[in-house]
Amino acid sequence: MIRYQLQCDKDHSFEAWFTNSAAYEKQVKRKLVTCPECGSTKVAKAIMAPNVGVKGNRKSDLPVPTKQPTSPVPVDPKVAAAQQEILSAMRKLRKVVEDNAEYVGPRFAEEARKIHYNESEEKGIYGEASPSDVKELLDEGVEIHALPVLPDDQN
């Protein structure tokens, strides 16, 4: 896990945890990272001091810094309620797809093409596809839609 100090376009600062830097980039690009104060999705990494641990076998006359208590960032109840509503709708959408379509895993692009070109029976499918596969499918006119990425998916 990695913690970033973030700042929105309205200069509100907050921190967020991500599995890695690629997860951060992906979520910011998809506008899934929002400022808890104003709800803005225009966020960027803020300057932060590195958190370097003190070596246990090293003697020093300097006191070991203690972690400063952090107060939680106040969240507007309306923003929090809206976020929960959106998450609930996203979960329902995913459940409907998962209950009514066939999971084809990494064969998604291949199976979607077969259905599009009438080489396979028409049915709902879902699975994984690389960004290049998605672009090619869209360029070919294959109708596809991304399932929403939920915070639960990152755990």
pLDDT digit string, tens, across residues 106-124: 999 999 999 999 999 999 9
Non-local (6+) Cβ contacts of 64 within 8 A are 54
* Residues 46, 7 contacting (CB under 8 angstroms): yes
For residue 4, count other CB atoms closer than 10 A to its CB: 19
Listed range (5-14, 39-48, 51-60, 109-118) with the worst mean pLDDT: 51-60
Residue 79, amino acid = V
Task: Tell me what pLDDT residue 155 has.
Answer: 46
* Residues 23, 154 contacting (CB under 8 angstroms): yes
**Residue 30 above 50 pLDDT?**
yes
Tokens at 52, concatenated = 């370097």
Tokens at 23, concatenated = 């997860």
Tokens at 73, concatenated = 């960032």
19-40: average pLDDT: 88
* Residues 133, 106 contacting (CB under 8 angstroms): no
- Which residue in the block uniquely carries the two structure tokens 């329902």? 92
Q: Environment class of residue 8 by beta-carbon count within 10 Å: exposed (0-12), middle (13-18) or buried (19+)? A: buried
Return mean pLDDT, the chain.
83
Task: Tell me what pLDDT residue 23 has.
Answer: 86
Task: Tell me what pLDDT residue 117 has.
Answer: 94
Percent of the chain clearing pLDDT 70 (strictly above): 81
d(CA 59, CA 61): 7
